[in-house]
């Protein structure tokens, strides 16, 4: 993105409100990041320029100038309502997360009455990750800027769990209509942050060379998915599995939560195996795609070995 901002600096006409993008680019090059609104503004500018649209770029530029995020910033827990975002902000959030499988109408607002309890639950899940799963936490916190709670509205009998988007990078959308334990809510956060991590690790590489028209059974979705979607699923399941292993193996974990984690571990291992077998049989991967997949396999094998050493009853099938 830093290189792209330097190019935008060259092509966007100067105006009174147009400050330099260079400090933002330098911030990114120094391992910094920007707020999700700045990523959203960046993509809006790119679309406007590519489409030759007559759009006032000054407000979008301003979001980028002001979007540098301090490295020490904590994850903001937010809810989708007008008090938190304003009406224009709600529209932007919905637009950023909308896709062919998730419409803006499925992201309903959070009421003032429900807001405190929803924020408490999300904060408790983040605390669980930070305190009981330090390895998972070290991957989550540097790349996640905000978690936005919404009330999911089912469509055609299907609901969504959460969502992440490259166009609002660093943001996680959570459907808080779903009833979850603290552990499962934390696992959902790990799931969505892993999607964001994969976006970052392969931003210049498509990972999977197969056509999007090739669809197969997915380990996490009931509808057939292209191989890139299954690749994403396998990548995130590996991190969900290692997170659950951390929780199960942490001596400070309560017996009740350990039992819950141990119940979920074989399910996630089967999910991983199912997705991996599809990729092994059908996927044509780029070198980066192969490298990231090999890392996911090693991550699951390592976590499985650690779990089996403490809980001998766990004997998952060997990873492909």
pLDDT tens string 167-211: 999 999 999 999 999 999 999 999 999 999 999 887 777 899 999
Neighbours of 133 (CB within 10 A): 24
Q: Please report the pLDDT score of residue 143 as a whole number.
A: 93
Q: Please report the pLDDT score of residue 209 as a whole number.
A: 94
Report how far residue 193's alpha carbon sits from residue 143's, in angstroms, rounded to the nearest whole number: 8
How is residue 223 written in tokens? 């509808």
Buried/exposed code over 74-111 (b: 16+ C-beta within 10 A; e: otherwise): ebebbbbbeebbeeeebebbbebbbeeebeeebbebbe
Mean pLDDT of 281-299: 96
- pLDDT category, 315, cuts 50, 70, 90? low
How is residue 291 written in tokens? 């490298």
Dihedral over Cα of 107, 112, 114, 117: its sign: positive
Q: Tell me: pLDDT of 75 over 60.
A: yes
Q: What is the mean pLDDT of the chain?
A: 92
Distances (CA, A) of 22 to 2, 13, 68, 144: 8, 15, 12, 23
Q: Please report the pLDDT score of residue 71 as a whole number.
A: 82
Q: Tell me: pLDDT of 258 over 90.
A: yes
E strand spans, 114-214:
146-152, 162-164, 171-175
Q: Tell me: pLDDT of 45 over 50.
A: yes
Q: Tell me: pLDDT of 260 over 80.
A: yes
Q: Please report the pLDDT score of residue 246 as a whole number.
A: 98
Entry pTM:
0.93
Q: Please report the pLDDT score of residue 170 as a whole number.
A: 96
Q: Tell me: pLDDT of 16 over 50.
A: no
pLDDT tens string 46-56: 988 888 777 78
32-36, 287-291, 309-313: lowest mean pLDDT where?
Answer: 309-313
Q: Tell me: pLDDT of 311 over 90.
A: no
- Tokens 């330097």, located at residue: 6
- The full 3-state SS of 18-41, as one line of letters, equals CCCCHHHHHHHHCCCEECHHHHHH
Q: Is 3 exposed, middle or buried (0-12, 13-18, 19+ CB in 10 A)?
A: exposed
Report how far residue 114's alpha carbon sits from residue 82's, in angstroms, rounded to the nearest whole number: 14
264 close to 243: Cβ distance less than 8 angstroms: no
Report how far residue 171's alpha carbon sits from residue 67's, in angstroms, rounded to the nearest whole number: 14
Buried/exposed code over 148-174 (b: 16+ C-beta within 10 A; e: otherwise): bbbbbeeeeeeebbbbbbebbbbbbbb
Q: Assign 143 to helix, strand or coil.
A: helix
DSSP assignment letter at 79: E
pLDDT tens string 114-158: 999 999 999 999 999 999 999 999 999 999 999 999 999 998 888
Dihedral over Cα of 33, 189, 167, 228: its sign: positive
Report how far residue 85's alpha carbon sits from residue 46's, in angstroms, rounded to the nearest whole number: 23
């Amino acid at each position: 993105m830093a290189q792209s901002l330097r190019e935008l600096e060259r092509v966007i006409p100067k105006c009174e409100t147009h400050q330099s993008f260079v400090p933002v680019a330098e911030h990114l090059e120094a391992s910094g990041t920007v707020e999700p609104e700045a990523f959203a503004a960046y993509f809006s500018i790119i679309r406007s320029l590519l489409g030759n649209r007559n759009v006032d770029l000054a407000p979008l530029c301003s979001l980028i100038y002001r979007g540098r995020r301090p490295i020490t910033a904590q994850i903001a827990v937010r809810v989708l309502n007008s008090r938190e975002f304003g009406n224009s902000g709600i529209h932007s959030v919905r637009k950023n997360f909308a896709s062919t499988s998730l419409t803006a109408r499925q992201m309903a607002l959070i009421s003032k009455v429900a807001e405190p309890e929803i924020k408490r639950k999300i904060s408790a899940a983040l605390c669980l990750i930070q305190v009981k799963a330090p390895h998972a936490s070290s991957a989550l916190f540097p790349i996640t800027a905000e978690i936005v709670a919404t009330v999911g509205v089912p469509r055609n009998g299907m609901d969504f769990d959460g969502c992440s988007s490259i166009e609002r990078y660093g943001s996680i959308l959570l459907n808080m209509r779903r009833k979850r334990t603290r552990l499962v809510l934390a696992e959902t956060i790990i799931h969505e942050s892993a999607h964001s991590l994969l976006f970052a690790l392969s931003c210049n590489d498509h990972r999977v060379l197969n056509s999007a028209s090739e669809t197969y059974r997915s380990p996490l979705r009931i509808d057939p998915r292209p191989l890139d979607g299954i690749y994403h699923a396998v990548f995130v399941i590996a991190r969900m599995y290692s997170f659950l292993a951390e929780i199960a193996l942490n001596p400070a974990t309560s017996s009740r939560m350990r039992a819950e984690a141990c119940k979920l571990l074989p399910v996630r291992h089967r999910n991983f195996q199912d997705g991996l077998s599809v990729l092994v049989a059908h996927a044509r991967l780029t070198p980066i795609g192969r490298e990231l997949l090999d890392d996911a396999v090693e991550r699951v094998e390592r976590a499985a070995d650690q779990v089996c050493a403490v809980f001998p009853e766990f004997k998952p099938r060997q990873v492909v």
